[in-house]
């Protein structure tokens, strides 16, 4: 029997519903396939549980990775994105050597919007396309990091942002029969426990400042809102955990909840939860270094 592609059912449901989002869905599909290549897990740097409280594990990481697979994946992602005309300058810039795949990969994994925008401007585009594509480009590496680093996440992690990559949660999940509230990261698939009454973004705990917008329909989906920071997180009820690689897709399938929140004047955070520094460097340098010693 043919093996179903990862996320296949969700992707086809989305493709049917959101025809205008096809280049994005093709990109996500490519990223899901890319995650299965061993190069990403082989390049995850060793980390120690962080001594500094509140520091995501990605913070300060140096990723040594073969440039070939990075170049191939960045080219592929840009070519797919290039099916939408807005991304064409990037595919050309890569082909002509004006845009360095490793630099783009590094900025994408760190999720550094200023650097991504600088790279975009350098090739004559100021529409923020690289920010969007960068999210997907980083996914295979970040998911590999999550898989390797899960045992290092402190059980008492109490921050609103992801303990692996530092991004804000994409979703909250009310899980299982005991109704734990978990926060989920769409970039790395991260999964961490949180309190019921706590805004992930500003830490507000006062029930008088926290509320829910309940959507109509059979699914148990709500939008948790905070009156202090006026930000929101979508909350889905799930008996079993959403698979890490599906969190990004679940975000897309619940756009109606975003509309509900935005119409009432709430927003998602603009900046990343905790900025992190990441260095990506060609792994062959290690070999050269050994040869010269």
Residue with the two structure tokens 């980390």? 47
Chain centroid to CA 270: 14
Least distance in angstroms from the C-beta of 249 to Zn ion: 15
According to DSSP, residue 73 is labeled H
**d(C-alpha 106, C-alpha 65), whole Å:** 11
> In terms of CB distance, is 101 or 160 closer to Zn ion?
160
Least distance in angstroms from the C-beta of 44 to Zn ion: 14
> In terms of CB distance, is 129 or 226 closer to Zn ion?
226
> In terms of CB distance, is 146 or 175 closer to Zn ion?
146
> In terms of CB distance, is 23 or 211 closer to Zn ion?
211
Which of 256, 253, 198, 254 shows the shortest CA–CA distance to 231? 198
103, 74 in Cβ contact below 8 A? no
**d(C-alpha 126, C-alpha 191), whole Å:** 33
Least distance in angstroms from the C-beta of 238 to Zn ion: 18
DSSP states of 179-247 as a string? Answer: TEEEEE-TTT--EEEE-SS--TTT----GGGEEEEEPPSSS-EEEEEETTT-BEEEEEEESSPPPGGGH
Which two tokens mark 271? Answer: 């900046």
Which two tokens mark 47? Answer: 């980390």
Least distance in angstroms from the C-beta of 101 to Zn ion: 22
Least distance in angstroms from the C-beta of 260 to Zn ion: 18
Residues that bind Zn ion (CB under 5 A): 162, 164-165, 167, 185, 187-188, 190, 199, 201-202, 204, 226, 228-229
Residue with the two structure tokens 């990004």? 248
Least distance in angstroms from the C-beta of 165 to Zn ion: 3
> In terms of CB distance, is 107 or 199 closer to Zn ion?
199
> In terms of CB distance, is 89 or 272 closer to Zn ion?
272
């Amino acid at each position: 029997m043919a093996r179903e592609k990862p996320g296949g059912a969700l992707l086809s449901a989305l493709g049917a519903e959101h025809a205008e989002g096809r280049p994005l869905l093709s990109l996500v599909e490519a990223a899901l396939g890319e995650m299965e290549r061993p190069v990403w897990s082989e390049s995850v740097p060793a980390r120690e549980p962080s001594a500094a409280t509140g520091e995501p594990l990605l913070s300060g990481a140096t990723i040594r990775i073969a440039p070939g697979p990075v170049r191939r994946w960045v080219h592929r992602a840009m070519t797919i994105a290039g099916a939408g005309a807005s991304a064409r300058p990037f595919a050309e810039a890569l082909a002509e050597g004006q845009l360095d795949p490793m630099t783009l990969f590094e900025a994408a994994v760190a999720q550094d919007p200023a650097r991504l925008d600088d790279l975009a401007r350098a090739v004559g585009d100021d529409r923020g396309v690289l920010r969007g594509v960068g999210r997907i480009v980083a996914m295979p590496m970040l998911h590999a990091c999550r898989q390797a680093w899960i045992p290092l996440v402190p059980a008492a992690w109490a921050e609103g942002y992801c303990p692996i990559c530092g991004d804000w949660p994409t979703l909250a999940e009310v899980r299982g029969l005991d109704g734990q509230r978990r926060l989920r990261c769409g970039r790395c698939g991260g999964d961490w426990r949180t309190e019921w009454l706590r805004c992930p973004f500003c830490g507000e705990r006062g029930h008088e400042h926290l509320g829910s917008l309940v959507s109509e329909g059979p699914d148990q989906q709500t939008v948790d809102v905070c009156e202090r920071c006026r930000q929101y997180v979508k909350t889905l009820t799930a008996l079993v955990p959403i698979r890490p690689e599906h969190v990004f897709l679940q975000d897309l399938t619940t756009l109606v909840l975003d509309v509900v929140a935005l119409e009432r004047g709430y927003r998602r955070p603009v900046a990343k939860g905790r900025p992190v520094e990441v260095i990506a460097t060609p792994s062959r340098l290690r070999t050269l270094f050994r040869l010269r010693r």
